Structure 1
Amino acid sequence: MLTYLRKRVVTSLLPLLVVLFGVFFLARLTGDPTNLYLPVSATPDQRAEFAAEHGLDQPVLKQMVDYLWGILHLDFGESLRTGESAADMALRAFPATLQLAFCTMLLAILGAVTIGCWAAYRPNSLADRAASLLSMTAASIPDFWFAIMGIWIFAVTLGWLPTSGTSSPLAWVLPIATLLIRPLGVLTQVVRGAMVSALSAPYVRLARSKGAGDLRVVTHHALRNASAPSLTVAGDLAVGLINGAVVVEVIFGWPGIGKLMIDSILQRDFAVLQACVLLTAISIFILNIFIDACYALLDARVRETAKV
């Protein structure tokens, strides 16, 4: 088990390093922040002073070395907009994104397991076909379209739900529903397919011959063996939620790290953007390692392969 996890950590470090260097260079392609933060009437001396104050007058390689040195000392610099610590701003916004992603993924898993098991228990029945149709439709709907339709129907037309903020529980409904629709559809299809295979396996027929009830067969025998492929897809979807929450956060004014990242790009706040991207990448790295550990616990073949 430890050997497998150690290999996964080593192989996952390379993408993290690529993100580390990539965000530094790509952030600087957005333009010179001097033109954004100083008025048009600023003198050359004022521009030079601003650039020197924020280290923008240094060669790019020197800026990169300072950036890496700061990361080693957990110093991500200060925001050009507010003068606050970039790390503090990213850490303050990140819990809102995690809350949104966690609630969405929890509802997606519960819904997919319930609908997928129900559909797989009677394959090719009317219920199975209805569940498959709805899940495929849900998996195909773009997030932004669902968000716009949700605002138009439930906020503008009916006036039931707010369009932004986190001030009330009702403000969570549209963002979670928008993020939920696609993971629920994809995961339902995966759970349904895995359960159909598991329910036709010999060990399930053996359990039935020993008098096991339908509920026990589904929950204690088939679902455990169907959980391995479902866990892999759920992990990918969870990673996608953290990354894909950007669109939802911007549309609904959700104060998460995705909205902060977009604001930093528009305002060329390099330090905050770098802190947001790196924090997101590290969280995805940790999430992938956790999913790999769960997968190894569920499937002994994975652990044996790691020993080779």
Structure 2
Amino acid sequence: MIQLIRQRTLASFLSLVGLIVLVFFLSRLTGDPTNLFLPIDATQEMKDQFRALHGYDDPILEQFGRYVWDVLHLDFGDSVRRARPAIGVVLEAFTWTLRLALITMTLVTISAIIVGSLAAFRAGGFFDRFASLLSLIGASAPDFWIAIVAIVIFAVTLGWVPTSGTGSVWHWILPVGVLFIRPFGLIVQVVRGSMITALSSAYVKTARAKGVKNTPIIFVHTLRNAMLPVITVMGDQAAALLNGAVIVETIFGFPGVGKLMIDSILQRDFNVVLAAIMVTAIAIFIMNLLIDMAYAALDPRIRY
């Protein structure tokens, strides 16, 4: 187990270094932020002072070296737009994204396992066909289209829920509902296929021959052995929620790290963009590490 964690941590660290290099230089290609932060009638002297103050007039490699040195000392710079430490701005927004992802994945996991298991137990029946149809539609529909349609129907036409904000439970319904659909559809399909394979195993036939009831067969005997591929997809979808929340948060005006990232890119607030991407990447790396540990817990062969 320790060797597995060490290998995954090293691979994640190397990936993070490559991501920092890539994002730093790509963000500089968006242009000089001076004209965005200074008024139109700013003089050339004011522009030069602004560039010198924030180090934009230095050679790009010198800027990169200084940034890496600061990051190694846990200094991610200040947000030019907000005049606050960039990491503080990002962590404040990331808490909202994390809440949104946790609520969504909790609902997705519980409902998808139940629906997929029941569909597998009655494979070929009406419930199986109905659940498969809904899950395929959900897995195929794009998030941005679902979000726009949901706003038009439930917020504008019916007036049941607000279109944006986080003030009450009603404000969370549309963002959670939109993010729920795609992972639910994918995980239901994986649970169904994995459970069908597990239900055809010899130990299940033996349990049925001994008179074991259906509920223990599904949720005790077969579910654990069917969970390995399910955990893989759940981990991928949880990471996708952190990334995919960019679109949903922007559409619903949700104050998460996705919307913050888009706003900062448009504003060329480089330090916030880099800090947001690094925090998101670290969260995904930690999530993947936890998934690997869950693998090892469910299947002792993986520990070696």
**Unaligned ranges ≥5, structure 1:** none
Partner of residue 105, structure 1: 105
Superposed CA offset, 1:13-59 (max 9, x none): 22211111111111111110011112232222111100000111111
Superposed CA offset, 1:194-238 (max 9, x none): 000000001111122222111111111110101111001000000
Superposed CA offset, 1:270-302 (max 9, x none): 011111011101111111101110011111221
Partner of residue 122, structure 1: 122
TM-score, length of structure 2 as denominator length: 0.98
User: For residues 209 and 244 of structure 2, what CA distance do their matches in structure 1 show?
Assistant: 46
Q: CA RMSD in A?
A: 0.9
Q: Which amino acid aligns with 2:30?
A: T
The residue matched to 1:164 in structure 2 has which SS?
coil
Partner of residue 7, structure 1: 7
Q: Which amino acid aligns with 2:224?
A: R
Partner of residue 202, structure 1: 202
Q: In the alignment, is residue 148 of structure 1 matched against residue 162 of structure 2?
A: no
Q: Which amino acid aligns with 2:26?
A: L
User: For residues 261 and 28 of structure 2, what CA distance do their matches in structure 1 show?
Assistant: 14
Q: In the alignment, is residue 267 of structure 1 matched against residue 267 of structure 2?
A: yes
Partner of residue 23, structure 2: 23
Partner of residue 193, structure 1: 193
Partner of residue 76, structure 1: 76
Q: In the alignment, is residue 43 of structure 1 matched against residue 48 of structure 2?
A: no
The residue matched to 1:273 in structure 2 has which SS?
helix
How many angstroms does 1:130 deviate by? 1.0
Superposed CA offset, 1:168-189 (max 9, x none): 1000000001101000000000
Superposed CA offset, 1:129-149 (max 9, x none): 111111001100110111001
User: For residues 105 and 82 of structure 2, what CA distance do their matches in structure 1 show?
Assistant: 34
Partner of residue 285, structure 1: 285
Partner of residue 296, structure 2: 296
How many angstroms does 1:11 deviate by? 2.0
User: For residues 157 and 89 of structure 1, what CA distance do their matches in structure 2 show?
Assistant: 35
Superposed CA offset, 1:78-116 (max 9, x none): 111121110110011111000001111111111111110
**Unaligned ranges ≥5, structure 2:** none
User: For residues 199 and 110 of structure 1, what CA distance do their matches in structure 2 show?
Assistant: 20
Partner of residue 237, structure 1: 237
Partner of residue 55, structure 1: 55
User: For residues 29 and 244 of structure 1, what CA distance do their matches in structure 2 show?
Assistant: 24
The residue matched to 1:211 in structure 2 has which SS?
coil
How many angstroms does 1:12 deviate by? 2.2
Partner of residue 137, structure 2: 137
The residue matched to 1:102 in structure 2 has which SS?
helix
User: For residues 181 and 132 of structure 1, what CA distance do their matches in structure 2 show?
Assistant: 13
Q: Which amino acid aligns with 1:186?
A: L
Q: In the alignment, is residue 257 of structure 1 matched against residue 260 of structure 2?
A: no
User: For residues 284 and 165 of structure 2, what CA distance do their matches in structure 1 show?
Assistant: 25
Q: Which amino acid aligns with 1:62?
A: E
Q: Which amino acid aligns with 2:218?
A: V
How many angstroms does 1:126 deviate by? 1.5
Percent of aligned positions that are identical: 54
User: For residues 40 and 176 of structure 1, what CA distance do their matches in structure 2 show?
Assistant: 41
TM-score, length of structure 1 as denominator length: 0.97
User: For residues 2 and 111 of structure 1, what CA distance do their matches in structure 2 show?
Assistant: 33
Q: Which runs of 4+ in 1 moved over 4 A?
A: none
Q: Which amino acid aligns with 1:272?
A: V
